[in-house]
Amino acid sequence: MYKLFIRPFLFLFDPEAVHHFVFRFLKICFKIPGVNNVVAMFHNVNDPQLSVNIMGLQFKNRVGLAAGFDKDAKLYDELSTFGFGFIEIGTVTPKPQSGNEKPRMFRLPKDKALINRMGFNNDGADAAAVRLRKRNSKIIIGGNIGKNKNTPNENAISDYEYGFNALLDVVDYFVVNVSSPNTPGLRALQEKEPLTALLQHLQNLNEQKKSPKPILLKIAPDLTNEQLDEIVDIVKQTKLSGIIASNTTISREGLQSEGNLKKETGGLSGLPLKSRSTEVIGYLRKRTGKELVIIGSGGIFTAEDAQEKINAGADLVQVYTGFIYEGPGIVANICKGLIK
């Protein structure tokens, strides 16, 4: 029903406008008594075979919602009823910011892809923390943190520290985002010296806490093997829990969509990213053995796609673009396929 009727209608309108409309619609619907139970009944697959313990956290299944969908932690309780094993909010920054100029999100239906250049538009870390303190569901929440656009890279550590402290008591794990292509200069933080300094600082803060939280690094898919080797060494040195592979790509190789769409700047997500993200996961697993947790993200639309990531070495997987193209039944379909 979603792909036959709902998606074609929604795809008639601007992607970002549709996103906000869907959020408002779901907020209203879930205020009706019993709606959450009905939605959960049709979208949750509760099977002990799916449950896994990763990073000391018990996930009811391996399928999560990637950062970027619920940036400001406004809909995580409602989204949890669609069967996700975990939800990652953010990317949040210390100060609220409006992000880049609109339009800044584009659909590429021929490629089952999206291009976005949102630019970390969010209400700020403090606002997200306030909403997360009202959590009603038991869903595992990840907090994806970044820096404000106007913060120079030499002061980036203070921004990440702010986000870490703001969310410490309300998330179950952290993700350090230095790999978005939509904040000028951000990817330069993936270089050895600034990255080591940033991750070591956050880990030092973490180790001082009564209940330290797992910290993961989200990386770009556009890194060379030599850069991946360096990332692995840094993550091991700073004793992070793991890596998320991967963020969006700046590559436009092999796209079937019209030229004007392909020329839009921003990060590409969806099916064209599938092979590269799986390749990165496999490379990282060979380099790390079982030492680090790997969360696979990029081009997951089906159970076969998810299993491919898991076979390559992913402990958990995340969907975003697949959720938009496949609809709310994607998690149940993946979970049923993983059981088989």
72, amino acid identity: D
Cα separation, 307 vs 294, whole angstroms: 14
Is there a contact between 66 and 318 (Cβ–Cβ < 8 Å)? yes
**Residues comprising the chain, all counted:** 340
Cα separation, 173 vs 181, whole angstroms: 23
Burial code of 307-332, b = ≥16 C-beta within 10 A, e = fewer?
A: bbbbebbbbbbbbbbbbbbbbbbbbb
Could you report how far apart the first and last alpha carbons of the chain are, in Å? 24
- Give the residue among 232, 214, 213 at the shortest CA–CA distance from 223: 232
Active site residue 180: yes
Cα separation, 113 vs 99, whole angstroms: 21
Q: How many other CB atoms sit within 10 Å of the CB of residue 12?
A: 7
- Give the residue among 53, 56, 71 at the shortest CA–CA distance from 214: 56
3-class secondary-structure state, position 218: strand
Any idea what DSSP says for residue 2?
A: I
75, amino acid identity: L
Cα separation, 290 vs 281, whole angstroms: 12
Burial code of 135-171, b = ≥16 C-beta within 10 A, e = fewer?
A: eebebbbbbbbbbbbebebeebbebbbbbbebbbebb
Burial code of 38-59, b = ≥16 C-beta within 10 A, e = fewer?
A: ebeeebbbeeeebeeebbebeb
Selected catalytic residue, list 80, 179, 180, 297: 180
Which residues are designated catalytic?
A: 180
